Amino acid sequence: MTRYLEIWLASARYSVTRTLMFRFDFFLWALVELFWMAVNLLLISVIYRHTDSVAGWNKYEMLLLVGTSLLVQRFLMGFFWSSLFEMGRNIRSGNFDFFLAQPGNVLFMASTRKLDPDGLMNSFVAMGVVAYAARQLGLQPSVLDISLYAVMILCGLIIHYSMLVITISLAFWLTSAQGIEGSYFTLAEFSRLPREAFKGVASIVFVWFLPVVIVSNAPARTLLRGFDPLWGLGLLAATLVWFSAAVIVFHRGLRRYTSASS
Amino acid sequence: MFAALNKYRQAFLIGLQSNLVYRANFAVRGFFSLFHLVVVFILWGAAYAHAPTIGGFSFGQTLTYFLVMLVMQFFVGAFNEDYQISEDIRNGLINQFLLKPINYFLYRFSIFVAARLVTGVLILLPLLVALPLLKDYLTLPAESWRFALVIPAMVFSALIQFSIAYCFGMLTFWFLDIQGFVILSMAIESLLGGQMFPLDLMPEWIYRTAQCLPFYYQTYFPTAILTGRISDLGQVLQGLGIQLAWVLVLLGINQLLWTRGLRRHTAVGG
């Protein structure tokens, strides 16, 4: 365990050094992410210019939800995106051999190779959005509420990570399907919607089957309405199921890996 | 003249073939675009539950707007042309264009037209499948001039989209990696091109400012003509004028970046 922590710290150090070498890139990417977040917040502000409530959520409740969803996404971007994106490319090109030769868990080695400090920096902006919304709503969360919120964000990160690993692992089967990583962003869009907006089939698919709604709604509700054990357990179960699924799919795929380039 | 046209006809045909090879990729992309429509449906459906009209438009009209927007993106939008051009420059593949009597811009544009033909038809397939679910919501204004004027608007829009992608591709002469610029511009385009929400829902002064920028003419303008978000003919004609002006300006910038860039080009590789 400590060995893995050491490996991870070494990767983190390497990534920070790299960022200091390419400072312009760092600012550019930080700006890119900031802008995308702003676009999402603008959408909320435009909709609420014309209506007071979306599925029973007012403007600042919605802002808190979107902020939460962006927070989970920023962590994913900061900690795992670059490594996993490269994993897809390496599987297709045959360069994945490099990771197989390393003395450690393949999935761990492949998903922690690179960190993106720009994504991590923007997570503070996302936290700022959540804090601003909470302030506007006059919320006074207790230390326990905030701790639960943090644990739930961690669960959300694991779920998003698992979804991304599953999508990228598809490259083991579909070597020609480039750009499949982008489908993650499509699914992440659902995280910015309140649970109450989903009805009928949409509710079954996006609330129960795919974990895209629970990821953001569970932590946001904890801050807004206090901790609900049902939501907490649901989120925990989803985390376990999806992480296991990711590990299984990844290892199944690995068996098909031929190390040849396509 | 005909010999020249023939050159680009060949480029077009090659583009058609190479894009047909990737039809599965485009189909997957089209399929995921339908998910985006589901998000739109759920979000705006919930917003309309408390307001019969938003910005003077019904839920059906707003949904039609997003659907037409999607079709426009697949018919006239630039996908990864910027990266392709960037790769050509980085790998030294453009060297061969410098030695042959072929214009690189027109060569790339011919391939772009072929690619949009393939993706445009491909997006119609999942939409046809989804049509039984959508048809109760779809509503377009009936004026025939809209259908006539949307054609030139789409042609100009394609030219603007491609020119902007070409400009970003040209940046490779100066920068090693253009991905950051491209994704930044995607964010600006998706906002000011009306992909996130209809632009007329924004405060008046922002909407007026957006109308002066080229992004407005990328996808919003043709979509707004067709879906009735621009109400009168005069405004459409005025818009077409501004759109044409942007086409010319961007073509000029393309040419400038190309000649300036080539001065820096060291023709490595190829």
Render pLDDT for A5-50 as a digit per residue (tens, 0 to 9).
998 999 899 888 888 888 888 888 888 888 888 999 999 999 999 9
As for how many domains chain A has, the answer is 1
Q: Does B20 touch chain A (CB under 8 A)?
A: no
> Are B196 and A178 an interchain contact pair (Cβ–Cβ within 8 Å)?
no
Q: In chain A, which residues touch B (CB < 8 A)?
A: 25, 28-29, 31-32, 35-36, 39, 42-43, 46-47, 49-55, 176-180, 182-183, 186-187, 189-190, 193-194, 196-198, 202
In a domain, A262, yes or no: no
In a domain, A183, yes or no: yes
Q: At what angle do helices B59-76 and B23-48 cross, to 10 degrees?
A: 160
Residues of B in contact with A32 (CB under 8 A): 180, 183-184, 187
Look at residue A69 and tell me whether its pLDDT is greater than 80: yes
Q: Are B58 and B229 in contact (CB under 8 A)?
A: no
Mean pLDDT of A56-70: 95
Domain that holds residue A77: 2-256
**DSSP structure string for B69-105:** HHHHHHHH--SSHHHHHHHHHHTTTTHHHHHTT--HH
CA distances from B14 to A9, B18, B20, B112, B149 (A): 49, 6, 10, 11, 30
Cβ neighbours, 10 Å, residue A215: 30
Q: Are A202 and B40 in contact (CB under 8 A)?
A: no
In a domain, A111, yes or no: yes
Query: For position B106, what pLDDT does the model report?
Result: 92
Look at residue A153 and tell me whether its pLDDT is greater than 90: yes
> At a CB cut-off of 8 Å and minimum separation 6, what does A38 contact?
none
Among A231, A76, A41, residue whose Cα is nearest residue A149: A231
Query: For position A262, what pLDDT does the model report?
Result: 46
Three-state DSSP class for residue B218:
coil
By C-alpha distance, the chain B residue nearest A118 is: B180
Q: At what angle do helices A23-50 and B179-192 cross, to 10 degrees?
A: 10
Of A104-118, A127-141, B14-28, the one with minimum mean pLDDT is B14-28
On the 0-12 / 13-18 / 19+ scale of CB atoms within 10 A, A168 is buried
Q: Which CB contacts under 8 angstroms, 24+ apart, belong to B22-27?
A: B22/A176, B23/B118, B23/B122, B24/A176, B24/A177, B25/A176, B25/A177, B25/A178, B25/A179, B26/B118, B26/B119, B26/B122, B26/B123, B27/B122, B27/B125, B27/B126
Three-state DSSP class for residue A57:
strand
What is the CB-side half-sphere exposure of residue B150 using CA atoms within 13 A?
24
More confident: B245 or A114? B245
Rounded CA separation A123/B52 (Å): 37
Mean pLDDT of B220-237: 93
Measure A188 CA to nearest chain B CA, in Å. 10
Look at residue A79 and tell me whether its pLDDT is greater than 50: yes
By C-alpha distance, the chain A residue nearest B30 is: A183
Element housing A39 (H / E): helix A23-50
Give the B window 163-182 contacts with A, CB below 8 Å.
177, 180-181
pLDDT tens-place string over residues B102-126 = 899 999 999 999 999 988 888 888 8
Mean pLDDT of B222-228: 95
On the 0-12 / 13-18 / 19+ scale of CB atoms within 10 A, A52 is exposed
> Are B29 and A182 an interchain contact pair (Cβ–Cβ within 8 Å)?
yes
In a domain, A261, yes or no: no
Measure A184 CA to nearest chain B CA, in Å. 10
Q: Does B187 touch chain A (CB under 8 A)?
A: yes
Q: At what angle do helices B81-90 and B144-170 cross, to 10 degrees?
A: 30
Among B261, B265, B269, B79, residue whose Cα is nearest residue B171: B261
Please count the residues of chain B: 270
Alpha helices by DSSP H, A181-228? 183-188, 200-202, 214-225
> Are B46 and A32 an interchain contact pair (Cβ–Cβ within 8 Å)?
no
Among B107, B138, B110, residue whose Cα is nearest residue B41: B138
In a domain, A114, yes or no: yes
Three-state DSSP class for residue B260:
helix
Rounded CA separation A93/A100 (Å): 14
Cβ neighbours, 10 Å, residue A109: 20
